[in-house]
Amino acid sequence: MNCASIVRKEIYGYLISAVFYGTAVFFILFASVWLFYFQRFFAMNTANLHAFFAAFPLAFILVVPAITMRSWAEERKTGTVELLLTMPFSEWDLVLGKFLAAFAAVAVMIAATVPVPLTLIPLGHFDGGVILGEYLGALFLGASAVSLALFLSCCSKNQSVAFLGSAVVLLGAILVSQFIMGLNLPEWLGGMLNFFSLAFHFETFSRGIIDTRDLAFFLLTTVLFLFLTTRVLIYRKWG
C-alpha cells in the first residue's frame, strides 16, 4: 500500500508524543473510575459491564480530538501539507494513512482496558459474547469518531481549533440521543435525531447485539468523512 509510509510516520509521531501516553492513561482511568466510583459496580450486584462500556463514548469526546488534532492542523500550520501534496501519494493514500494510524492509536487504548473485564469475569457469570460485542462496537464507534475528527482537523488552521471543534461536534454527535430524551419531541423527529447519534448506534453493541443497520451506519459515516477529507485536500491542491 502506498499509504504504508504515511502510517509508519504517523505511528512514530504518536510513540514519541507525550500527548498519546497521557491520553491513553486518561482513557483507562476514566472508564475505570466511571465503573467503580460513579456507577458503583460492586453495589449493583449484576454480572454485566454495560456501565463500563457506556463510558467509552463519553471518553471519546476528549480522547479522539486529542489524538487527531495534530494530524492535519499541524501539517497545515507548518506548511508541510503542501509538501505532502507534491509527493507521489494520492489524496486517498494520505487520508487513509493518517486514519489508519489514528485508529490504531485508539484501538490500542481500547485494548488496554481488557484487564478490567478479565479481572472481573471470575467474580460472576459474565456473558463473554456480550463483552466481545461491546468491544467490537467500541472499535466501530472509534473509527467513525476518528474519521470525523480528522475531517475537522483538515479544515482547521491549528491544533487548538481542531481539538475544540472536534470535541464540540463529537459532544453533539454522541450525546444528542441523551438530550432529546428530556424533550417532548414528535416520534418521527426524535427518531431522525437518534439516527445521527453515535451513542444511539453503539447501544445495540453494548447489549451484545450486532445489528447490521448500526454496523452499516458506522462504516458509511467513516467512509463519508474520509471522502470529505480527500475533497478538502483536492481543493487545497488545485484551489
Write the pLDDT tens digit of every residue in 8-55: 999 999 999 999 999 999 999 999 999 988 888 877 777 788 889 999
Comparing CA positions, the residue from 130, 129, 104 lying closest to residue 52 is 130
How many domains would you assign to the chain? 1
Q: CA of 142: how far to CAs of 56, 148, 173, 194, 238, in Å?
A: 9, 10, 13, 18, 31
Instruction: Output the nine-digit C-alpha cell for 190.
Output: 426524535
Nearest residue to 151 (alpha-carbon basis) of 99, 220, 74, 193: 99
**Mean pLDDT computed over 68-79:** 84
Helix (H, G, I), strand (E, B), or coil: what is residue 8? helix
What's the confidence (pLDDT) of residue 144? 97
Q: Stretch 53-68: mean pLDDT, rounded? A: 95
Question: Is residue 239's pLDDT more than 60?
Answer: no
If phi > 0 it is left, if psi is from -120 to 50 it is alpha, else beta; for residue 185 that is beta
Domain with 180 in it: 4-238
Prediction pTM value = 0.93
Q: Is the pLDDT of residue 170 over 60?
A: yes
Nearest to 118 by CA among 106, 103, 130, 128: 128
Average pLDDT (76-86) is 78
Q: With a cut of 90, say whether residue 110 has pLDDT above it.
A: yes
